[in-house]
Amino acid sequence: MEARGDLTSILPYLPVVLRGGALFWPPQAQEALKALALGPDVSRVSSGDVLADALTDLRLALNLDPLPRRSAEGFGLFFDDRLSRAQARDWFDHVLPSLAHLLLRLPTLLEDHYHSAGDQARGLRLLGSQDAGLVLLSQELAAALLACALFCLFPTADRTKARLPAINFDSLFSALCYNARQSQEQKVRCLVHYFDRVTASTPAGSISFERKVLPRRPVSNGITYPDMDAWMKSDVPLCTFQVFSTGLIEDEEQEALQVDFANRYLGGGALSRGCVQEEIWFMIYPELIVGMLFMVSMEDNEAIEIVGAERFSQYMGYGSAFRFTGDYLDSKPFDAMGRRKTRIVAIDALDYPTRLQFESSGLLREVNKAFCGFLDQSNHQLYVKLLQDLNTKDNSPSVNPGECIGVSTGNWGCGAFGGNPEIKSMIQWIAASQVQGKRLTMQSHHWSVQTSMYVLSFQALRSFVNYYTFESEPLKRLEEVTLWVLRHRWTVGELWHMLVEYSSQRLRGETNEGFFTWLLPKDISKGDVDYMCE
């Protein structure tokens, strides 16, 4: 296998080595994995304490530092004290040897992956800043990479310098010690359950990880970073907006892009002490963690979309109240690429923006961050082709742009990041609405080229927003506001104008009202609301 560029970029961050065009485990590490694969009768690994020693030996064989002392204590605490005797026996007799077998296959899985990679989805590689692209992995390869993380085998040198998040599970286990919250143990239980499942039955699907970039400079047939004037001039109608006071984004029944309220470092505190929305998703969809291996932190004009992750766990609670409650059987259908039709987009909001969220630069940053995440480049390219067909002699389009899916979201950037829920809900609505799917149809033969080009230069291609408020008090009037706006048939530009005007008044101290109170007529009656709801 040739040392192609994508392999070269990720090789320093993998535990395997490249020799003579092939990938290998270093000899000492391979022998240690072979012993683990033969089970506790040979390896003598039958407890958490001994497992921690074995992981240190593996790390030393890879020229890594020993497992940190507190991490070793965490492995011992979980596998020796927190699991039942039957669960621990099954783990050391069956799951651990199966994971070692899987790791022994990692070089072969990687070589097969690179041989099958194509133009649409290149091989596993470092996806750095402004490097738009997609990586498609098999679920089996993802499981092997996660086993490396569990065993803490990934090299850590230069990850911080490269702006990559931590990927090994050492901090996750170390956080179990010394009066840790119960939620920390429950996070580990989710991951242990994942390894139980994938060693019992190897998953056969695929997962894609895409770095999405909204270029700041014009590109051919592409969409660039809109400025304030572009948003102000948009005459696109606002899309359907439905409010749910209860329910969870991940339980969305419609096919929709599910919004991960992300840290700019993918995964946030998933592998340490964090336990809010993003971290919980990375526990119940453990394959999301794989993206932390190669996705550099996001810039303001970037987002990360992951398609195909399988859900393995049920849970209840949030934050310190989070609890693993059992197995989850994911019944989502598969697409043509073998991915489950679960689409998750990670977008990071401004962190404690205070005044900045009302300034033009802050508003623009947030709406373009959401727009980048919601943007469907594949549908955009189909519309480019449709436009070309419309400009042919007979104006006969040959492309079906496909059905647009919506956005399932909630209080993005409004919890730990301290954003204003009313502003953030409107920003997401504006970003998701910037679409011309209904207006640029197969009957669009009479549109002018100039008008069509504007449409194609600036569209997210999403058809609805389902918004989960989690019973947030500041959003109790959200449905009232959206119904009132839709009744008056506002465009994206008109809502954006009102948001900018309100924000300017807040900055000048001319109003202290919330946006919803400021926007709605003061004399709006209960009857008006009832009429809007009909």
Instruction: Provide the annotated binding site.
Output: 263, 277, 318
82-99 core/surface letters (b: 16 or more CB in 10 A; e: else): ebeeeebeebbeebbbbb
* Residue 474: Cβ within 10 Å count: 17
Radius of gyration of the chain (CA): 25
The answer to whether 110 and 24 have CB atoms below 8 angstroms apart is no
Binding residues for substrate: 263, 277, 318
The distance between the two most distant Cα atoms of the chain, rounded to a whole number of Å, is 79
Catalytic residue IDs? 260, 278-279
DSSP 236: P
Report CA-CA distances (Å) from 125 to 18, 133, 206, 290.
Answer: 15, 10, 16, 12
Distance CA 502, CA 423 (A): 10
H/E stretch holding 397 reads: none
DSSP 488: T
Distance CA 295, CA 162 (A): 10
Distance CA 171, CA 138 (A): 27
DSSP 319: G
The two three-digit tokens of residue 405, written as one number:
């899916």
Distance CA 161, CA 176 (A): 27
Of the candidates 116, 338, 309, 113, the one whose C-alpha atom is nearest the C-alpha of residue 205 is: 338
DSSP 3-state helix, strand, coil percentages of the chain (rounded to 5)? 45, 15, 40
The two three-digit tokens of residue 486, written as one number:
């839709």
Distance CA 495, CA 492 (A): 5
Distance CA 105, CA 24 (A): 10
